[in-house]
C-alpha cells in the first residue's frame, strides 16, 4: 500500500484553547525579562491570532482553570504576578496538567495548547498520558495528533521535583549558557493537519532564533513516511563476479531496465561462489517533525519466483528452498538530513542451485519507532547533580508513553486498506545465474 497522503491544509473552523500553567514552578521563567519563555508566549498568540486569524480562548491552568482575556495573557502571563500567588486575582495553584485536557464538542475541530514545565502533580505522567489517550489520541479520533514544542529558556527561581509524595525544591539560575537553560513544553492536542500547519508558521515568529533552542515533534500513526524507497537509484560500484547488464536474456525471457518499474537487473558469473555485497544509498523521506522509524526492528516480506522456460512466466515452483536465502538485505541506516536510506544486499551465489532468472521482491517494514536522543539528554535521569535545573523529571517516560501509543495505534488498525505497519521500501531484483 502507498503511504498515507499528508494533509497540508488547516481546518476552516478550529476552536483554540490555550492553557498556561499558573503554578509557582513556572515563576523562574519570567523573572529575568524577555526570556525564551516570554518570546514563546508571544509567538503562540501571534501564530493563532494573526496567522490563523482565529478566536482564541485563554486559561490560567491550576486546580480550577481560570478564563482570562487576551490582554491578560499578553500583559500578565509574562510577569511574576501571574505565578507567585501574591495577587488575589491570580491565586497560588498546583499543577494538574491533565485538568486542561477537555474533549472537543461533537463535530468540532479543537486545538488544545498547554504551556507547562511538565511537573505534573505527584509526578504522575502516566495519568497525563492516559488522559491524552482517552480524550484525543485514540481510534475514535483518527485525524487527531499530539505535537510537542520543547523549548529551553532562561530561568531564575525554584525548581520543584515531585516523586509520589516526596517534593524536593532547589533554587536554580541558568544564565544564558545554552546547556544550562531550563526546558518548558508546549503541548498541541488537535487535528494533525493543524498541528503541522501551525508548527510551520512558528518560524515566522522566531524571535532571535527561538527555534534554535527548541525541539518539535508530532505523534501520529499515519503521517510518518512521505515517500517509500525503491531501487530507482542504483550503486555504480559492484563487487567482482557480478555485473549489471542492460537486459537479461535467457530461456525465452527478455527483461530490460524500465524506469517506471524500479528494479536491479544483475547477472552472476557462472564461476562465482563467494559472497557478494552491494551497498545501496536510496532516497527515503519522512514527514518533517515526525518520529523516525527504528532501523533495528526492520522486517521484510519476501516473494521469490523463477522464470519457467516452458510456461514462459515467473512461478513460485522452485526446486529448492535454499533460494529463499540467496539474498539478504541488512545494515540499515537512515540519513535523516539527506533523506536517504542505506543498506547492504548480501548475495550467496552457491544458493542458486540451478541456472536461470530469479525474481526477488522485498517489502521492507517496521512496527517500531525510534526515541530521539534528546529525550534522554533532557531527562532528570541524566542530571549532573541533584540541583541540575536543565533537566525535566519524567520527561522521557512521558514521551515514550506517547511513542508507544503511536505504535499501538498503528498495529491495531483494522482497516484493510491501511497496513498495520510502516512500509519503508519496496525493492525488486531480477538475478540471472548462468
Q: Which pLDDT value is given to residue 398? A: 95
Residue 6 makes CB contacts below 8 A (sequence gap 6+) with: 196, 223, 226, 287
Structure confidence at residue 7 as a pLDDT band (50, 70, 90): very low
Other C-beta atoms within 10 Å of 122: how many?
15
pLDDT at 1 over 50: no
Dihedral, CA of residue 109, residue 111, residue 112 and residue 117, to nearest 10: 160
H/E stretch holding 243? strand 242-243
- Average pLDDT over every residue of 351-369: 93
Q: Which pLDDT value is given to residue 6? A: 43
Report the Cα–Cα distance between both ends of the chain, in Å, rounded.
Answer: 35
Instruction: Give the domain ranges of the chain.
Output: 14-220, 226-368+422-433
Structure confidence at residue 40 as a pLDDT band (50, 70, 90): very high
Q: What angle do CA 36, 37, 39 make, to 5 degrees?
A: 60
Give yes or no for a contact between 194 and 111, defined as CB atoms under 8 angstroms apart.
yes
- Average pLDDT over every residue of 241-260: 84
pLDDT in tens, 291-318: 999 999 999 999 999 998 889 999 988 8
Q: Which pLDDT value is given to residue 317? A: 80
- Average pLDDT over every residue of 355-367: 94
Structure confidence at residue 260 as a pLDDT band (50, 70, 90): confident
- Average pLDDT over every residue of 359-364: 96
Q: Which pLDDT value is given to residue 4? A: 43
pLDDT at 167 over 80: yes
Q: Which pLDDT value is given to residue 82? A: 96
Give yes or no for a contact between 198 and 175, defined as CB atoms under 8 angstroms apart.
no
- Average pLDDT over every residue of 59-80: 92
Give yes or no for a contact between 169 and 157, defined as CB atoms under 8 angstroms apart.
no
pLDDT at 50 over 50: yes
Q: Name the more confident of 420 and 133.
A: 133
Structure confidence at residue 164 as a pLDDT band (50, 70, 90): low
pLDDT at 2 over 50: no
Give yes or no for a contact between 81 and 91, defined as CB atoms under 8 angstroms apart.
no
Residue 137 makes CB contacts below 8 A (sequence gap 6+) with: 144, 145, 146, 189, 219, 402, 405, 409
SS3 134: helix
Residue 158 makes CB contacts below 8 A (sequence gap 6+) with: 24, 25, 27, 28, 169, 170, 171, 172
Give yes or no for a contact between 53 and 64, defined as CB atoms under 8 angstroms apart.
no
How do 313-315 and 327-335 pair as beta strands?
Answer: unpaired
Mean pLDDT for all residues in the chain? 90
SS3 12: coil
Which residue in the block uniquely carries the three cell numbers 489517550? 133
For residue 216, list its beta bridge partners: 149
pLDDT in tens, 101-148: 988 888 889 999 999 999 876 667 888 999 999 999 998 899 999 999
Q: Which residues of 301-339 are buried (b: 16+ CB within 10 A; e: fewer)?
A: eeebbbbbeeeeebeeebeeeebeebbbbeebebeeeee
In this structure, what C-alpha cell is assigned to residue 113?
Answer: 495548547
Other C-beta atoms within 10 Å of 49: how many?
14
> If we measure between CA atoms, which residue out of 187, 174, 191, 247 comes closest to residue 28?
174
Q: Which pLDDT value is given to residue 252? A: 81
Q: Which pLDDT value is given to residue 108? A: 86
pLDDT in tens, 375-400: 999 999 999 999 999 999 999 999 99
As a 3-state breakdown, the chain gives helix, strand, coil percent values, each rounded to 5, of 25, 35, 40
Among the residue ranges 200-209, 263-272, 335-344, the one predicted with the least confidence is 200-209
pLDDT at 270 over 90: no
Phi, psi of 430 (to 5 degrees): -125, 115
Amino acid at each position: 500500500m502507498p503511504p498515507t497522503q499528508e494533509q497540508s491544509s488547516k481546518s476552516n473552523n478550529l476552536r483554540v484553547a490555550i492553557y498556561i500553567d499558573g503554578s509557582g514552578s513556572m515563576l523562574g521563567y519570567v523573572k529575568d525579562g524577555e526570556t525564551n519563555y516570554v518570546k514563546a508566549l508571544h509567538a503562540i498568540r501571534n501564530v493563532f491570532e494573526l496567522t490563523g486569524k482565529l478566536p482564541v480562548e485563554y486559561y490560567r491552568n491550576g486546580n480550577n482553570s481560570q478564563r482570562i482575556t487576551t490582554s491578560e495573557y499578553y500583559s500578565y502571563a509574562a510577569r511574576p504576578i501571574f505565578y507567585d500567588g501574591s495577587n488575589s486575582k491570580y491565586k497560588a495553584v498546583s499543577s494538574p496538567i491533565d485538568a486542561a485536557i477537555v474533549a472537543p464538542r461533537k463535530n468540532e475541530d479543537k486545538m488544545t495548547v498547554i504551556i507547562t514545565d511538565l511537573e505534573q502533580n505527584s509526578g504522575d505522567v502516566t495519568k497525563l498520558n492516559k488522559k491524552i489517550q482517552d480524550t484525543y489520541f485514540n481510534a475514535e479520533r483518527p485525524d487527531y495528533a499530539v505535537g510537542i514544542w520543547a523549548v529551553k529558556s532562561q530561568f531564575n527561581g525554584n525548581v520543584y521535583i515531585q516523586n509520589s509524595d516526596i517534593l524536593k525544591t532547589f533554587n536554580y539560575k541558568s544564565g544564558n549558557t545554552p546547556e544550562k537553560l531550563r526546558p518548558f513544553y508546549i503541548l498541541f492536542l488537535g487535528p494533525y493537519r493543524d498541528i503541522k500547519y501551525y508548527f510551520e508558521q512558528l518560524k515566522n515568529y522566531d524571535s532571535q532564533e527561538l527555534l534554535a533552542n527548541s525541539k518539535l515533534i508530532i505523534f501520529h500513526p499515519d503521517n510518518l513516511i512521505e515517500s517509500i524507497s525503491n531501487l530507482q537509484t542504483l550503486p555504480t560500484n559492484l563487487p567482482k563476479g557480478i555485473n549489471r547488464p542492460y537486459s537479461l536474456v535467457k530461456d525465452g525471457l527478455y527483461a530490460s531496465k524500465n524506469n517506471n518499474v524500479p528494479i536491479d537487473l544483475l547477472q552472476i558469473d557462472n564461476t562465482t561462489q563467494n559472497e557478494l555485497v552491494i551497498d545501496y544509498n536510496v532516497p527515503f523521506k519522512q514527514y518533517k517533525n515526525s518520529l523516525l522509524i527504528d532501523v533495528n526492528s526492520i522486517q521484510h516480506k519476501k516473494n521469490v519466483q523463477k522464470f519457467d522456460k516452458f510456461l514462459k512466466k515467473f512461478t513460485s515452483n522452485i526446486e529448492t528452498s535454499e533460494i529463499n536465502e540467496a539474498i539478504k538485505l541488512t545494515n540499515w541506516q537512515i540519513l535523516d538530513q539527506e533523506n536517504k536510506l542505506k543498506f547492504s544486499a548480501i548475495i550467496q551465489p552457491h544458493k542458486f542451485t540451478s541456472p536461470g532468472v530469479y525474481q526477488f521482491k522485498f517489502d521492507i517494514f517496521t512496527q517500531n519507532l525510534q526515541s530521539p536522543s534528546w529525550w534522554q539528554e533532557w531527562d532528570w535521569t541524566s542530571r549532573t547533580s541533584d540541583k541540575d535545573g536543565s533537566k525535566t523529571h519524567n520527561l522521557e517516560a512521558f514521551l515514550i508513553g506517547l511513542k508507544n501509543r503511536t505504535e499501538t495505534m498503528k498495529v491495531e488498525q483494522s482497516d484493510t486498506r491501511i497496513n498495520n505497519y510502516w512500509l519503508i521500501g519496496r525493492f525488486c531484483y531480477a538475478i540471472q545465474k548462468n
